[in-house]
A and B are shown apart, each in its own frame.
Chain A
Amino acid sequence: MSAQTFFIGFFGLAAVWFGVVVFRTHSMVRSALALLFSQTALGALFLSMQAEFLGVLQIMMMATEMSIMAIFMVMFMMDPGGLGEMDMTHQKRLSLAAGFVAFAAAVAAAVFVDWGPVAGVAPDAAQQTHDLGIELLGRSMLIFETAGVTILTAMIAATAVAMPAVKRIGNK
């Protein structure tokens, strides 16, 4: 077993385990931080698959994102500390079944599809970063720009929705 296999397995397991913890813990802050560590483990998984830029970016982006998640969890949950051990789920059986079926189907696809020849080596990290930059600002520029504009629109829209409706309706 190569080191790469080991690390992929290890970080994959960690990511899944933290993912499960998200829905198992009663404390909402723990839940948000479990999601953070799940995503961080994925970042490490990317690193062990030699996708250096993506891995580091994932580790960086998710930390801020999930920290913000944590504060919203505390705001919007009935029992953020989880001391009441209340159950906040519904249609549990259906969800479990759906989750399991999705998992099984995806695994089946992974196992039974012929993925074709496997490439041995990836380009080194500096080359990858360079290629990605060229790709982003060359062929995929339109998609990249669209994504940028979309995120800006989403930011503005979200802010507008979230702002208090001061005198907006009142003036009609």
Chain B
Amino acid sequence: MNVELLLALVTGAALFGVGIYGALSQTNLVMIMMGVELILAAAMVNLVAFWRYLHPDAAAAQMFVLIVMTVMAIEMAVGFGVAIARFRARGSVEMEEAAELKG
């Protein structure tokens, strides 16, 4: 077992855990988005680590990371769009007050 690979994977795991905690525990939409960003970041760490230590010749792995970055950007754009719309309508982006979003 390679130490560096393990270190990177543990980093990814820790970020994943922190992200899960944040996404579940926060009441504010923006804070929840931060949690999701951390979860995605954890995925990126793992992808880079796998690329480097398992398949350094596969450029597709790096492309996968680019896609994750795109997803992060999309998440930000859509999240903030929704946040602004809700804030305009209700004056709040707190999840406890978003009862009607539960459907």
A residues adjacent to B (C-beta < 8 A): 4-5, 8-9, 12-13, 15-16, 19-20, 22-23, 31-32, 35, 38-39, 42, 45-46, 49-51, 53-54, 57-58, 61, 65, 68-69, 72-73, 75-77, 88-92, 94-96, 98-100, 102-103, 106-107, 110-111, 115-116, 118-119, 121-123, 128, 131-132, 134-136, 139-140, 143-144, 147, 150-151, 154-155, 157-162, 164
A-B contact count (CB 8 A): 239
In this complex, what residue of B is CB-closest to A122?
A: B56
Instruction: Check A103 against B59 for contact (C-beta < 8 Å).
Output: no
Chain B hits for A111, CB < 8 A: 1, 6
Which of A95, A150, A162 touches B24 (beta carbons < 8 Å)? A95
A48 to B43, CA, bound (A): 17
Instruction: Check A19 against B38 for contact (C-beta < 8 Å).
Output: yes
B residues adjacent to A (C-beta < 8 A): 1-22, 24-31, 33-35, 37-38, 41-42, 44-45, 48-49, 51-57, 59-60, 62-63, 65-67, 69-70, 72-74, 76-78, 80-85, 87-88, 93, 96
Shortest distance between the CB of A95 and any CB in chain B (Å): 3
A158 to B88, CA, bound (A): 14
Instruction: Check A38 against B28 for contact (C-beta < 8 Å).
Output: no
In this complex, what residue of B is CB-closest to A50?
A: B52
Instruction: Check A39 against B41 for contact (C-beta < 8 Å).
Output: yes
Instruction: Check B31 against A15 for contact (C-beta < 8 Å).
Output: no
Instruction: Check B7 against A58 for contact (C-beta < 8 Å).
Output: no
Which of A51, A76, A161 touches B29 (beta carbons < 8 Å)? A76
In this complex, what residue of B is CB-closest to A118?
A: B2
In this complex, what residue of A is CB-closest to B91?
A: A76
Instruction: Check B93 against A76 for contact (C-beta < 8 Å).
Output: yes
Which of B9, B49, B83 touches A76 (beta carbons < 8 Å)? B83
Shortest distance between the CB of B5 and any CB in chain A (Å): 6
Instruction: Check A8 against B9 for contact (C-beta < 8 Å).
Output: no
Instruction: Check A99 against B20 for contact (C-beta < 8 Å).
Output: yes
Chain B hits for A155, CB < 8 A: 77
In this complex, what residue of B is CB-closest to A49?
A: B52
Chain A hits for B20, CB < 8 A: 95, 98-99, 102
A163 to B88, CA, bound (A): 9
Instruction: Check A128 against B30 for contact (C-beta < 8 Å).
Output: no
Which of A119, A140, A151 touches B74 (beta carbons < 8 Å)? A151
Assuming the contacts A19-B38, A140-B63, asked whether A119 and B55 have C-beta atoms less than 8 A apart, the reply is yes
Shortest distance between the CB of B94 and any CB in chain A (Å): 8
